Every structure is written in structure tokens, then in C-alpha cells.
Amino acid sequence: MKIIIHGGFFSESDQSHEVKVAKQNSLKAIAAKAFDYLQSHTAEETAVYAVSLLEDDTLYNAGTGSQIQSDGKIRMSASLMNGENQKFSGVINIENVKNPIQVARVLMKENDRVLGGNGAKTYATANEFEDYSTEIPQRRKEYEAKVKNGGKGTVGCVALDRNGHLAAATSTGGKGFEIVGRISDSATVAGNYANRYCAVSCTGVGEDIVSNATAAKIVTRVTDGMNLEEAFEKTFAELKEIDGFAGAVAIDRNGNFFHRDSHPTMVFASFDGSTFEVFD
């Protein structure tokens, strides 16, 4: 049983040492809680649980604290993939729900498992998700500064459960001030993908991740016989060819962790029940 989570990127140039320490402590605490949860839950359930905790933490750009788009509204995207049954579900540009990843989780039971915009919100309301504003004052100030003068960070979790099943979940509040209708990688297989061999969650610039098909490539290469490090090496070499900005975390079916970023510094934490690894 293993857990690895991420919370986007950290930049020394625009974030303080205090924020860095806060993210290190937050990720370690969430990884520990998620690992405890994994003891009695499936990989899919645990991935949703961990991402929900990340969505609720205003340090990250997902759920509460999401970025604001160019028209002053928050629209969020999230997806979930179960590696065992190969089901993928997601919401794209959903508004006014607390935990988009939990809406994606409910969609797993449907034949139509990826919903966008008003349809996603209507579905959430029909399934008793209450209206909730995910805006925080800090994001409004950042938005107003961009309007006058005119930020990246997605969250995710990959889990391996006691039955050897893998799952990946990813959630984002977007890149901020984007064109209305823009779709990120987080609710696509480029940014969130899993099968019986490997599971991957990505963060970074969505357009680069989609262009590179990052998560799907890594998983496919592991499935075809590459080890995790080799799959990352080849995929990130191809990302470099387009000067892509991305980070990814992964676990394979043998319990191996791997993580990599194309630009410093992706924030992440992993835990296997005895050893933590947290970004520096």
C-alpha cells in the first residue's frame, strides 16, 4: 500500500519560505491521513479522499482557493481513473461546488462519465452537492491585479491498495485569467491516467501536458515493458522538445514510486507506511 500526492509547483521567486514550509507540512499531513484511510479503503476511494483534502486546503489551486478566470468566475476541473476496471470520470469547468473530485467519483456509476459546464453543475445539484463558493480573498486580489496590469498548480493523488489495485485522481482551479471555456489537462487522460500496471497524475501547464499526452504515455510505456524511470525519461525528453512545463507523480503495480518535473519545483509527498519523501 502506497500513496503519492502533489500540489502543483513552488517558485522561490514569488512565494515565501513560510509558504514553502506550510506546503511541506500540509502535504506530509495529508499523505499520512490518506495512507491511514487506505488501510480500509480501495485505491479509488483513497485517491478521492486525498484530493478532497487538497481541494479543501487554500494553499493549493483546486477546490477552495481556485484561480479566477478572465470573466471573474471560478471554474474547476477534476478527474478520477480506476486502473483495475479502466473507468475514467470527470467534470470540466464546473462552478460552485466544494469538491469537484467528489462529483467525478459519483459519475463513475454513469454511462456518461465526463460532464462539462452547466451540465456538470446540474448533475452535481441533482446529486445533492450544495452550492459552495470556492473563492478566497487572496484570489480576488490576484485577479484584480491582473485586470489592472494585464499564476499554476493542480493537485493529485496516486494510490496503490492492499489488493494491488491502482487509481489516480487530479483536480485543478485552472491557470487564472484564462479565456472562458479553456479546458485543462486535469480532466483528460493526458493529465490523469491509470491501468493495472501504472497510475499517473500531472500538474503544470495544461496545454503542454495535453500536447505531450504525458500521463497516458508514461502508463502505456510501463504497460509495454519499460520500467517507471525509463518511461518518465522518454516522456519528459519528448516534453523538453516542445519546452513543456509539467510535473508528474506515479506508482507502478510493483509499488515503485517515481516523480519528475521539467522545471523546479513540483511540490509532492509520498508515504509507504514507514518512510516519507517530501519536496525540498
Q: Which residues are catalytic?
A: 154
CB atoms within 10 A of CB 133: 11
CA distance 138 to 203: 21
CA distance 268 to 50: 12
CA distance 62 to 76: 7
3-state helix, strand, coil in the chain (%, to 5): 35, 25, 40
All 3 cell numbers of residue 118?
452547466
Give the helix ranges, DSSP H, for 160-258.
206-212, 214-223, 228-241
Q: In the 8-state DSSP scheme, what is residue 131? A: P
* 98-to-75, 121, 125, 131, 212 alpha-carbon distances in Å: 11, 11, 12, 8, 30
